[in-house]
Amino acid sequence: MDQLQVLIDTFAEACNHHRPPVAPTPSDPATVYNTRPKAAPGEELDTANPGRIRTGTIDKAGSATLHHNGRLHHIGIGRIYEGTRVLRIIEGLHIRVLNAATGETLRELTLDRQPTGRPKGPTRPT
């Protein structure tokens, strides 16, 4: 039984720390795992509004899109990230966009509550 555990530990070490990455990331699996945000209990956890996670891809304009309160938002990330798979973590108005492969934070922001766009009604006196 001890020999089997040694073989399993050797395999896990090689798989997680020494094999070449298969995804388009320069990191080994253990590094990717350790850089991603982890769920943990704590006082800052708002159980009334735990947030949500959405996946997506950065578009040709370098933006990640997000529907929030019935509106479509384009979150600028940068054209260098075009085609990158991302995770969007939404907690109320606080948004984090992470690289899905590496866990790197690409953008963090708070949505503005002020309405934008054209005002309703006539814009010039008639």
pLDDT (tens digit per residue) in 97-114: 999 888 889 999 888 766
Residues 56 and 30 reside in one and the same domain? no
95, 109 Cβ separation under 8 angstroms: yes
> Can you list the positions of beta strands (E) in 3-116?
52-57, 63-68, 71-76, 85-91, 94-99, 105-110
118 lies in a domain?
no
pTM of structure: 0.53
| Cβ neighbours for 104, distance < 8 A, ≥ 6 positions apart | 35, 98
65 lies in a domain?
yes
Residue 22: domain span? 1-35
| Cβ neighbours for 47, distance < 8 A, ≥ 6 positions apart | none
**How many domains does the chain contain in total?**
2
Residues 63 and 30 reside in one and the same domain? no
Q: How far apart are CA 95 and CA 52, in angstroms?
A: 10
What's the start-to-end Cα distance of the chain, in Å? Answer: 89
pLDDT digits (tens, 9 = 90+) for 14-66: 877 776 666 565 667 777 777 777 766 655 555 555 678 889 999 999 999 88
59 lies in a domain?
yes
pLDDT digits (tens, 9 = 90+) for 75-99: 899 999 999 999 998 888 888 999 9
109, 91 Cβ separation under 8 angstroms: no
Residues 28 and 60 reside in one and the same domain? no
95 lies in a domain?
yes
